[in-house]
Structure 1
């Protein structure tokens, strides 16, 4: 067993990136809601993004979380539209949140609201993307880090 503690170990560098892009005209509560919904899809479909379960010094167990940072960006409606198109073109794993979802109250209605609109007409207010660092960087090009 190694005597190294996490503090003594060099920082981990990931070849992949998780990014969330939010439209810059959302209210604070909407930004938080959209972010949580978007990232919830990554773990079940991309299991390598999930780390090991947590445990505190008293042995109390906690759920595992992402193994790497989630970077949150913001951009205009046009930046979101372009990022959505680039994510599709690169076939990167992605989650989408449209403005219509603010008017629904459950998963079934959320999926129906997205299904009712063609890809090019979706009013995207949030997008989560996972993949190789350089590919994700190209998808979020034009966005800025969320303040």
Structure 2
């Protein structure tokens, strides 16, 4: 690794907020789905493809860290409202999605519930660092 590359401070932030009462597999599953939404809506967050010393090619990933937080149901509801009010790019994962098996069913499950009644188990937000910090206020880093 080249230690001469200076650290970068990003003006934007990617944060995932996961409900703290989920099973481990649910936390991991929801996190994976949530960040996939950010990558498609904000292509500027994707870096260049990777390659190892042998020239084996790998997919590009986020160009900046993804911070994963956790909190209770009420915190997720408040963060969701703050994210909407700030106009942040956001993906959501509701409890209903654990029982669906494909994208069309996922979208139908979310579409069937008004925003203020979603049973959120996770959300991901992307935007200006300060706005994301205010949106996730009260959450703690995932252990």
Larger radius of gyration between Structure 1 and Structure 2: 1
Unpaired runs of 5+ in structure 1?
none
- Per the alignment, residue 15 of structure 1 pairs with 11
How far apart, CA to CA, are the structure 2 residues paired with 1:18 and 1:69?
7
2:55, 2:128 → 1: CA distance?
A: 35
Displaced runs of 4 or more, over 3 A: none
Q: 1: distance between equivalents of 2:8 and 2:138?
A: 27
Query: In the alignment, what sits opposite 1:59?
Result: 55
Which among 12, 34, 37 is matched to residue 41 of structure 1? 37
Corresponding residue for residue 118 of structure 1: 114
Which residue of structure 1 lines up, in the alignment, with residue 83 of structure 2?
A: 87
Matched, 1:32 2:28: yes
Q: CA deviation at 1:6?
A: 3.6
Give SS of 1:41's match: helix
* Alignment partners' CA distance in 2, 1:110 and 1:58: 40
What TM-score results when the alignment is normalised by the length of structure 2? Answer: 0.98
CA deviation profile, 1:58-80 (whole Å, cap 9, x unmatched): 00100000000000000000000
Q: Structure 2: where are the runs of 5+ without partners?
A: none
Q: Which residue of the other structure, out of 128, 132, 139, is the alignment partner of 1:132?
A: 128
Q: Using the alignment, how far apart are the partners of 1:111 and 1:6 within structure 2?
A: 43
2:76 alignment partner, SS class:
helix
User: Could you tell me the TM-score, scaled by structure 1's length?
Assistant: 0.95
- The offset of 1:122, in angstroms, is 0.3
Which residue matches 1:102? 98
2:8 counterpart SS class: coil
